[in-house]
Amino acid sequence: MKNVIIGILLIATLSFAGLYMHERNLQHQAQKDVRTLNQSLVEMQTRLDEQEQQASSLQKHLETTRAAAITKADEITQLQQTITNQTAAGSTNQGNPLAEMFKSPEMKKMIQTQQQTVLGPMIEKNYAGLFSSLQLTPEQSAALKDLIVKRSMVDAGLGVSLLGGDMDADKRKEMTDQAKTEKDSINDQIKQFLGADNYTQFESYEKTIPDRMTLNSYKDTLGQGPGALTPDQEQQLLQAMSEERQKFKFTTDFSDQSKINGDLASMFTEEKIAQYQAERQQLDNYYLQLAQGILTQDQLGPFEKFLTSQRDMQSMGMKMAAKMFGSQGK
């Protein structure tokens, strides 16, 4: 009888043990499920936060774009009015109507505002590599950028004044000399700001700016599509283009501001412009040859088209300058 009771107790104990282990397993599984659900909730919340940030960013971008569009519309309205006024005045004026338009104080002010708006982001973009390599603080980068913008505005102001016409060669030379003095002064400020060693690096970097601008413009046209340049391709192409440009000798280098003097009529002749365009195409052909070892076949075609479009736009601007400055020289 005793053995029977012990057997029954043993069976009951095993049964309770089995139930206990089963309940423990269920509890562990439940805890695991809770942790999984919590993790899922965290991930969902993170995604929601990211979506809210993206929505907020898009909203801000939309508001900025809308404000910029309104500003541009106002500027276009002002420009149209200025052109209308100058056209009306030009009907009784035998001079160059385009030059007369650039004499307008409203036009000069509008152009200066546009130049300041464009120069800031452009310089920040093209000089970002320099700011990083010099390990400048945000405040130092902003100060250096302001000096570069200030120097660029000297050239911009000179260009607008020269386009206004109504001055002889001596006056134009006086203005270009004055602009050079102002730029030299700003360069001295940059040198004092950076120190001798960093200024040497600054000067070397500036020699690559024309090609950095070209590549940045090309990248903007490509966007982030499959043909976009990789960082390695961009660096290789930039180095190759910069080295080739520094070796290339233009007969008349219109892109070198230091070569511009007061005798614009003899500088902007049809012969010199045609020669420069031929030499520019020759340089672009060298770029394409170098690019064959850097870009893919799918990238070469768009790059060639981009270089051609850049030459065409430059040619239009130079022909307009020749027409204006040629008439001033007569």
Q: Could you write out the DSSP letters of every residue in 197-216?
A: HHHHHHHHHHTTHHHHHHHH
pLDDT at res. 220: 84
Query: d(Cα 278, Cα 156) in Å, to the nearest integer?
Result: 26
Residue 322: strand, helix, or coil: helix
Task: Identify whether 78 is part of a domain.
Answer: no
DSSP string for residues in 47-89: HHHHHHHHHHHHHHHHHHHHHHHHHHHHHHHHHHHHHHHHHHH
Query: d(Cα 209, Cα 213) in Å, to the nearest integer?
Result: 6
Domain count, the chain: 1
Residue 156 sits at the vertex; the CA angle it makes with 153 and 159, to the nearest 5 degrees, is: 150
CA distances from 116 to 120, 217, 260, 311 (A): 6, 19, 22, 25
Task: Identify whether 152 is part of a domain.
Answer: no
User: Which residues touch 150 (CB under 8 Å, ≥6 apart)?
Assistant: 186
Q: How far is CA 287 from the centre of its chain?
A: 21
Residues 193-205 pLDDT 10s? 999 999 999 999 9
Task: Identify whether 79 is part of a domain.
Answer: no
Per-residue pLDDT of the chain (330 residues; tens, 9 = 90+): 434 344 444 444 434 444 444 444 545 555 555 566 566 656 666 666 665 555 454 455 445 444 444 444 455 445 445 544 544 454 444 455 555 555 666 666 776 777 777 888 889 889 999 999 999 999 999 999 999 999 988 888 887 777 665 667 778 788 888 888 999 999 999 999 999 999 999 999 999 998 999 898 888 887 767 778 899 999 999 999 999 998 998 887 777 666 666 566 777 788 888 898 999 999 999 999 999 999 998 889 999 999 999 988 888 888 777 776 655 544
String of b and e for 22-41 (b: at least 16 CB within 10 Å)? Answer: eeeeeeeeeeeeeeeeeeee
Nearest to 211 by CA among 248, 239, 251: 239
Q: How far is CA 57 from the centre of its chain?
A: 21
Task: Identify whether 280 is part of a domain.
Answer: yes
Query: d(Cα 126, Cα 234) in Å, to the nearest integer?
Result: 13
Task: Identify whether 255 is part of a domain.
Answer: yes
Task: Identify whether 54 is part of a domain.
Answer: no
Task: Identify whether 133 is part of a domain.
Answer: no
pLDDT at res. 228: 85
Dihedral angle over CA of 230, 236, 240, 241, nearest 10: 30
Residues 204-220 pLDDT 10s? 999 999 899 989 888 88
CB 273 within 8 A of CB 318: yes
Q: Please report where in the chains the tokens 């093209």 appear, as a residue.
A: 126
CB 266 within 8 A of CB 329: yes
CB 144 within 8 A of CB 136: yes
Which tokens belong to 227?
A: 């043909």
Structural domain of 318: 208-330
pLDDT at res. 101: 56
CB 78 within 8 A of CB 50: no
Task: Identify whether 327 is part of a domain.
Answer: yes
Query: d(Cα 35, Cα 81) in Å, to the nearest integer?
Result: 68
